[in-house]
Structure 1
């Protein structure tokens, strides 16, 4: 095994977080190795807001659909349609989207390799050595052992990150997870479409039969659809739930193209670095939004911030620079994560509260402020009277005064 090869940064994991980190570092002139496993696609609804499209220069051709409306479905099957005024939510297929991000990083100068991360060790001088098994796409069996040296390592290898564990990031063992599962199905032909089918609408089911503590989704992807759910209840059958959802939405007969499942972190880790040379990003850092389950935007922002922190460490030699990734992220979005966490804890607990939650979403003030915050990725501070009205309506629902 050759240990002479050295990179400024080795990024482990080629999803949106890792690919974005590699692209950012390569643009800054750093030598970067992007190491990713072959054939892995994360279960994901694939929704990306306009803020992501703008900030990360995503070309229109990657959008397989443009959602114009979100339908929220209560336990009683009553629903609320929320139009996306003056815009859309982009929908992407993760297989092609993630590959485009990796290719962009390579175009900027990052070295791409396919392999499976094995462990971290250190040379005699204290420099980290990344051990991995080099494998070509879909190759079976043991790969060829390989290793490279790295001044900094970005761990973007998903939930239950092995980089975090090997790199001794404090508190990583305390992380809690939910499990997500979805099926990609072929969209029905026009003559076979169920009643009320709309290929530009995202359907969100707030029903305990589809998830006791989260929600189920049916999202359009152009020629395909993502039908999925998630739960922290280990005894709950996610696959059975998706089958029921397909039946409820009239999509049971659609061809299933693939099935995917993965753990998702429940909240950001308290530390994203080991105080020396490892910094985390994406699911490895725990940046999946509570209540909504949104992760792509936060993963890409986290990758960008991890890259900036790594660049500052390399430029200054000050290991405290690694702390900046989490500090900057939480300054921007910590309040949103807290609010969403409280919302999920309160409203998703039983059918009665789910019913009231969907009822609240009929309100036009709630719709406008929620989507403005989602689309722009910041809490809306305009329209103070709208906030007052929402607060009063929330209180009436909490106390049971509002009619459902």
Structure 2
């Protein structure tokens, strides 16, 4: 057996899932190493609900902006405003938000390492050895090794950990996302709302977004259609939003998973979290809250594994996540497959968004991350309205 530095847990990837897992494990008294690549920023509108602020003890200072409405824009350019009653949508810039989460994990006791993960080997006693290239990952720098009783792979939708060490990972499906961070121009009138474009030439199967971050704006698009030009669509989206002349500060692209994976662990000592586990909400593309919750559940499962030595504990992360959020993901998946399939259906979908019952239930479910049961009459009305739109019995306007 080697004399390498040994941790209870090595977390690979320092986004919201990995940083949350590292923070929770360190606070629980586990020795944790958080390994993250430098300079990687995920394309993301940056929306987080009030429930995330409560669940993860986030201070108001992490927010770049708070908006109180969303505007849905249909293929015919119809604009439907959805005001938020008694709440808000928080917006973060991932460049600063993710670093704040990593710094908090370090303050809680996690050891931070900057480097590029390369592979997992096994020591003579079977313990995982994480091999990584430190610093900026230059080829001329020698690799380093650390031992881990357990490994959490939180390295994104195209997870190297998942592809190489978790059975079935090759079945993951994803949307390609791209956004540009623009400097907010003088006189911009959209700082208090999020704009969502349901237009087939902007995205044939997803949507485009314009999310204000105060001094900056995230303008982005996503699609699973091969060959579709995300950059050209983003340029056109900026033009439609009146931002064609705004200064572009940075451009980012990455895959976004479409559904949770069937298996998150290797049955031994490796567990996936966040995008690597596929926990991005269909239809909405919301990922930050679910990534952080996935990281928390991964931390709980790994803590139990370290305490008992039973690999079955790792499966609790997925089981608990699906129990709490699986029904919502299932409904949103059906919604995306149906309503986003053509401009005719997108037009009807935006029309539905004008309904007060739908607005109320949508915002209550989003802000508090639970299905709303207090207004059964509203659910019934929505059912009949939805059926009328599905059958084409009402005009989309």
Taking the aligned partners of 1:73 and 1:396, their CA distance within structure 2 comes to: 21
1:317 is displaced (CA, Å) by 1.0
How far did 1:198 drift?
2.0
Instruction: Give distance in 2, aligned partners of 1:293 and 1:166.
Output: 26
Cα distance, 1:166 vs. partner?
A: 2.9
For residues 183-208 of structure 1, what are the alpha-carbon distances to aligned partners after superposition, in whole Å with 9 as ceiling and x for unaligned?
A: 00000112xx3xxx221110000000
Q: How does 1:77-92 map to 2 (within 5 A)?
A: 77-92=77-92
Asked whether the 8 Å contact 1:17–1:303 carries over to 2, the reply is: yes
Tell me how far 1:140 sits from its aligned partner. Answer: 4.7
The CA deviation string for residues 336-361 of structure 1, in whole angstroms up to 9 with x for no partner, is 00000000000000010000000011
2:361 to 345, 354, 369: 369
CA–CA distance in structure 2, aligned partners of residues 148 and 66 of structure 1: 41
Q: Aligned-pair distance for 1:31?
A: 0.4
The answer as to 2:125 corresponding to 1:128 is: no
Provide the rounded CA distance (Å) in 1 between the counterparts of 2:95 and 2:104. 15
Question: Which has the higher mean CA deviation after the structures are superposed, 246-255 or 141-150?
Answer: 141-150
User: In the alignment, which residue of structure 1 is the partner of 2:273?
Assistant: 281
Q: Which residue of 2 aligns with 1:74?
A: 74
Deviation at 1:170, TM superposition (A): 1.6
Q: Tell me, yes or no, if structure 1 residue 232 matches structure 2 residue 224.
A: yes
State the TM-score, normalizing by the size of structure 1: 0.96
- The 5-angstrom pairing of residues 278-357 of structure 1 reads 278-357=270-349
Aligned to 2:102: 102
How far apart are 1:143 and its partner, in Å? 3.0
CA distance in 2, matches of 1:164, 1:148: 19
- 1:152-171 equivalences in 2 (<5 Å): 152-167=150-165, 169-171=166-168
Q: 1:113 and 1:141 mapped to 2: Cα distance?
A: 17
TM-score by length of 2: 0.98
Deviation at 1:142, TM superposition (A): 3.5
Provide the C-alpha distance between the structure 2 equivalents of 1:231 and 1:166, rounded to a whole number of angstroms.
26
Contact residue 13 and residue 155 of structure 1 kept, 8 A: yes
Secondary structure, counterpart of 2:23 in structure 1 = helix
Could you say what secondary structure the match of 2:124 adopts? Answer: coil
Q: Is the aligned partner of 1:116 residue 2:113?
A: no
Give the Cα separation in 2 of the matches to 1:141 and 1:171: 30
Deviation at 1:3, TM superposition (A): 5.1
Post-superposition shift, 1:165?
A: 2.6
2:201 and 2:221 mapped to 1: Cα distance? Answer: 11
CA deviation profile, 1:10-39 (whole Å, cap 9, x unmatched): 000000000000000000100000000000
- 1:215-254 aligned within 5 A: 215-254=207-246
Q: What is the DSSP-based 3-state SS (H/G/I as helix, E as strand, rest coil) of the residue aligned with 2:386?
A: helix
For this pair of structures, how many residues does the alignment match? 395
The 1-side partners of 2:60 and 2:289 are apart by 16
Q: Residue 5 of structure 1 aligns with which residue?
A: 5
Unaligned runs of 5+ in 2: none
- How well do the aligned residues superpose, as a CA RMSD in angstroms? 1.0
Match runs of 1:22-101 below 5 Å? 22-101=22-101
What SS does the aligned partner of 1:353 have? helix
Deviations along 1:217-263, one digit per CA (max 9) or x if unpaired, are 00000000000000001111000000001111110000000000001
Matching residue within 170, 173, 179 for 1:182: 179
Runs of at least 5 residues in structure 1 that lack an aligned partner in the other structure: none
1:176 Cα shift? 1.3
